[in-house]
Chains A and B, each alone.
Chain A
Amino acid sequence: MPEVATGSIKAALRRIEPYLWEIPSSFDPAMRVPARIFATARMLEEIIQDRALFQLVNVATLPGIQGAAIAMPDVHEGYGFPIGGVAAMDYETGVVSPGGIGYDINCGVRLLLTDLHDAEVNKWYPQLAKELFRKVPSGMGKGGKLKLSIKELDAVLNGGAPAVVKMGFGTETDIQYLESFGCIDFADAGAVSARAKERGKNQLGTIGSGNHFVEVDRVEVIYDHVAAKTLGLFHGQVVILIHTGSRGLGHQVATDYIKTMLRSLDRYEIRLRDRELACAPIQSEEGQRYLRAMAAAANFAWANRQVVTAEVREAFRALFGSDVKIRICYDVAHNIAKVEEHDVEGERRKVVVHRKGATRAFPPGHPEVIEQYRSVGQPILIPGSMGTASYVLVGAPGSMKRSFGSTCHGAGRKMSRRKALKTVRAAELLKELESEGIYAQAGSMRGLAEEAPIAYKDVHSVVDVVDRAGIARKVAQLRPVAVIKG
């Protein structure tokens, strides 16, 4: 079993559109479809420095893959699938691969809108950072205040965000503004192992560590005034981004099912380049059971962001009074598989779209975009690094033709954690951020250094590529003012 495809990726790359490159399927006899990458020529030079494109070529070898294996401009090396990748598999003949969703199932981003203006409240940002740090549990393996029985946890796994709204975390209106309304209906708590439940039972309402955060931003630039107004954004507005996922529960679900699928490869005569691509036919017992468990973990993640939302509301109300209004703008999943219909080679096909570090980007008029936003397209939330900027975009028509209704998910790392640790001193970073009016609170100085802005690609360039490629459209740029890290 070779570790990676051979040959020179760089020599094989050809430009097929101004911001789209292709590695043709002739590059490697095992490729069933080409591999395509959204990027500028300059970005591509950086992208080929790690193994991301070799991993993308490996994805293009999977049974049932449709159209192309696709990488976004924030792509970087992962394990098995690259991070920032999209792969659509035929629903009848294709496979589902837990590695194509990732260990943090339904890791995603939620944007909350306040009715506060930066000018009214900016002197309170340092206190706001501290209050949020107190209210939102963060850090390694940190548990939340909410301790669920297994019966209650099962209700969350089957019911998603609406289940925790019933427990008093938020309102029915909140649910209207979540991708899939915060619940995949075919979820089955019975497909989730006791171990996964043990890892997750005390973690609702926690953000964890790594690149997860709660960030307060102000709306700095508006590019599209009509779309901004439709989404409820105004210049100078104080908004909040929440980035977290399914915590230990999702990690264990992925671990369990990758092991299960490795055992069934021979039975389905599947040969893989990399064991992290472990997969099973979508229509097999293993495939269907994984999809039900994945949906349950995704529901847990939506519930998690819903409880964190309640904690954020509590922190804001403690500081600014009980009449401060905070509503959800939108909530996106960027590590997930979705059953969707897309046009492939002139035919309408049912596919399972794997998005690993990629965001759904349905255009205006798409029936799955909520009615309130259907005229402008699905909101897309792109967090940058803590010292730069984040973006709100909407889906554009090109996404349906070129990327199975998908776009990028963040700035994308370019520097290893180890190198970041050697390069950055956390105490100095905190001071630098403060001098720029960004107040950070972190559970771990090491974690803060690992996530320093220098470790990330330029989010502005990433967003410009997806905007110019026609798969998403810029609506607003957000500037961080207070950041809570694990």
Chain B
Amino acid sequence: MPFWILPHTADVRLRVEASSVAELFVEAMRGMMEIVLPGFCTQTFPRCRLVEQNLAVQSVDQSALLIDFLSEVLYWSQVQHAVFCAVQFQQLDQVSLQAKIEGCEVEQAFEEDIKAVTYHESFIRQNASGRWETVVVFDI
């Protein structure tokens, strides 16, 4: 599993690890969606109405870019009542990205209502084994 939920008294702390920065962004999004509706993105053929959304995000640095990207996904997830499981990046650098997120509009209620994605503790770094990792705290 590329993401793990760590202890936090009131909110949700997610640790994400991946072999590239792009993959880290994808797995962080899938981790967030796992909090919103557990198991949905791991179903082989989820029955749903497909939705797509184009995103363009600019931020002060790479760590902030991840959080701002997740905030964008959260916004579209909430207003479309959708779960996004895939991303196609047209462009991704240190401070900006353009991407298409793909997912499903769902009937069932979300399991968890994420109020916001916070910048708290979110620093993208490469660990000793060369993998990229970060922690993201979600306000619940």
Taking a contact as CB atoms closer than 8 A, the residue among B9, B119, B123 that contacts A258 in the complex is B119
The answer to whether B109 and A78 touch across the interface, beta carbons within 8 angstroms, is no
The answer to whether A416 and B120 touch across the interface, beta carbons within 8 angstroms, is no
A236 smallest CB distance to B (angstroms): 34
Residues of A within 8 A of B118 (CB): 79-80, 99, 276
CA of A15 to CA of B60, assembled, Å:
42
Residues of B within 8 A of A276 (CB): 118-120
Give A211's nearest chain B residue, CB to CB.
Answer: B10
The answer to whether A275 and B68 touch across the interface, beta carbons within 8 angstroms, is no
Contacts A80-B120, A275-B64, A276-B119 given; indicate if A210 touches B113 (C-beta within 8 A). yes
Which chain A residues numbered 417 to 459 have a C-beta less than 8 Å away from chain B? 417-419, 443-444, 446
Taking a contact as CB atoms closer than 8 A, the residue among B75, B109, B113, B122 that contacts A252 in the complex is B75
How many chain A residues sit at the interface, stated as a range, is: 35 or more
Interface string of A256-267 (1 = CB under 8 A from B): 001100110000
Give B81's nearest chain A residue, CB to CB.
Answer: A141
Residues of B within 8 A of A141 (CB): 78, 81, 109-110, 113
Interface string of B100-122 (1 = CB under 8 A from A): 00000000011111011111111
B36 smallest CB distance to A (angstroms): 9
B72 smallest CB distance to A (angstroms): 10
The answer to whether A208 and B9 touch across the interface, beta carbons within 8 angstroms, is no
CA of A199 to CA of B81, assembled, Å:
11
CA of A188 to CA of B119, assembled, Å:
26
Contacts A141-B78, A199-B75 given; indicate if A416 touches B9 (C-beta within 8 A). yes
Q: Is the CB of A486 closer than 8 A to any CB of chain B?
A: yes
Residues of A within 8 A of B9 (CB): 50, 52, 76-77, 413-416
Taking a contact as CB atoms closer than 8 A, the residue among B5, B79, B111, B122 that contacts A444 in the complex is B111
Taking a contact as CB atoms closer than 8 A, the residue among A140, A259, A419 that contacts B112 in the complex is A140
Query: SS class of chain B's interface: helix, strand, loop or mixed?
Result: loop
Give A264's nearest chain B residue, CB to CB.
Answer: B60
Give B110's nearest chain A residue, CB to CB.
Answer: A140
Give B111's nearest chain A residue, CB to CB.
Answer: A446
Q: Is the CB of A171 closer than 8 A to any CB of chain B?
A: no
Q: Is the CB of B49 closer than 8 A to any CB of chain A?
A: no
CA of A3 to CA of B64, assembled, Å:
15
The answer to whether B7 and A199 touch across the interface, beta carbons within 8 angstroms, is no
Which chain B residues numbered 1 to 41 have a C-beta less than 8 Å away from chain A? 5, 7-12
Q: Is the CB of A255 closer than 8 A to any CB of chain B?
A: yes
Residues of B within 8 A of A104 (CB): 115
CA of A142 to CA of B140, assembled, Å:
15
CA of A76 to CA of B7, assembled, Å:
13
CA of A139 to CA of B75, assembled, Å:
17
The answer to whether B7 and A79 touch across the interface, beta carbons within 8 angstroms, is no
Contacts A252-B75, A275-B64 given; indicate if A486 touches B10 (C-beta within 8 A). no
Taking a contact as CB atoms closer than 8 A, the residue among A198, A199, A262 that contacts B119 in the complex is A262
A153 smallest CB distance to B (angstroms): 15
Give B37's nearest chain A residue, CB to CB.
Answer: A140
Residues of A within 8 A of B122 (CB): 275
20 contacts across the A-B interface (CB closer than 8 A): A78-B10, A79-B11, A79-B121, A99-B118, A103-B115, A103-B116, A199-B75, A251-B139, A255-B71, A255-B116, A274-B119, A274-B121, A275-B119, A275-B122, A416-B8, A418-B7, A419-B7, A444-B109, A446-B112, A486-B113
Name B residues whose Cβ lies closer than 8 Å to a Cβ of A: 5, 7-12, 59-60, 64, 68, 71, 75, 78-79, 81, 109-113, 115-123, 137, 139-140
The 8 closest A-B pairs by CB, nearest first: A79-B120, A275-B119, A140-B110, A79-B118, A276-B120, A103-B116, A209-B113, A251-B115
